Amino acid sequence: MSYAALCDHGVACGCGSKSVATLRRKEALSDLAEKHRGFFFSLLPVTSAAFAKAEEVFGRVDVLFFNTPSAKDQRTFKVFSQKLEAKLGADVMFGSMPTPHVTQHIMSTALILGATGATGRQLLRELLSSNEWSKVGEYGRRVTPEADLPQNRGKLEQKTIDFENLEAAGLKDGRWDVVFVTLGTTRAQAGSAELFEKIDREYVVNACKAAKTNDPAHQQRVVYLSSSGVNPSSPFLYLRSKGLTELAIAGLGYSDPIVFRPALFKGTQRAGTRLVETMLGYVTGAASHFTSNAEIHVAVLAKAMMKAGILGSSGLPPAAGATKAGQEASWFTLIGNKGALFLGQE
């Protein structure tokens, strides 16, 4: 997210990798640049032309902060900002500038891959109902039918894509701040082991790679839904594929890869629930009274994933039990079922 900050006394920052600051004191720029490494600061006059230039350089202006103590200046800027808000689609906020510590978790755009699955459907609803996101993209082999979408879908961008031709999908064009991945399948659904690995790993990894921008200053986060018990060296196809997918995504260069390994899903609402799943549901339902590693409702899991996408690894509370996992050049933050339950019910 880009910030245009209008300040009297030189306290300005952004929560993403880009920031536009309009300051009254030119000497404050060097102090800010030294204090907040990774942010870009510019001295701009309060004019439409200045913000047009800011939009050109930084891609967009999402939020305007204005904290002058003068009531007269505030009234003047309010008129100006209304015109700017209509032109750029930016939000205008008055008050003190936030610090990086406070605003670090804020993101503006989210992409979800696999929104038609059990967890993906819930996650899409969470993203659309949250004020954290200015734009939500749903890209996949198929997208949610309009009749199944919630009323608050104004910020939704849907696109059917061909995973065999991701170059034509334009995944990079959205400059997504957080990429959520709930895409996956089973061997039975895929029809063969080869097709399973193609869909469950190749499509997932390639799509994440295609969604990563080429801008080194754009800090992107990826949140991947895996499974409990995965291991890249497992003799079992499903667990091995998920484990290899985790490592592959973590090695793509995202600034903050986060992986969820939940237990058995509850509330999937499949049209034809399988007998084995029903029997396991009874078992895990009983076991959930004694352990937090037995099951999780997909609605709770979706909330947990969105919260992790907002907070990022550094902002996760200790109770989430997040740990560092992976291997050299493919490290990621791991959240188990207990942590997902905590985040989704907090």
Q: Residue 119 in contact with residue 185, Cβ under 8 Å? A: no
Residue from 5, 56, 10, 60 nearest 32 by CA = 10
Q: Residue 4 in contact with residue 54, Cβ under 8 Å? A: yes
Residue from 123, 135, 134 nearest 181 by CA = 123
Is 206 buried (19+), middle (13-18) or exposed (0-12) by CB count in 10 A? middle
Which residue's entry shows tokens 């659309």? 128
Which are the contacts of 222, defined by CB distance < 8 A and separation ≥ 6?
Answer: 178, 179, 180, 181, 208, 249, 252, 254, 256, 257, 258
Of 242, 266, 303, 307, the catalytic one is: 242
Of 238, 254, 266, 307, the catalytic one is: 238
242: annotated active-site residue: yes
For residues 334 and 320, what is the distance between their CA atoms, to the nearest angstrom?
10
Question: Which H or E run contains 335?
Answer: strand 330-336
Catalytic positions are 238, 242
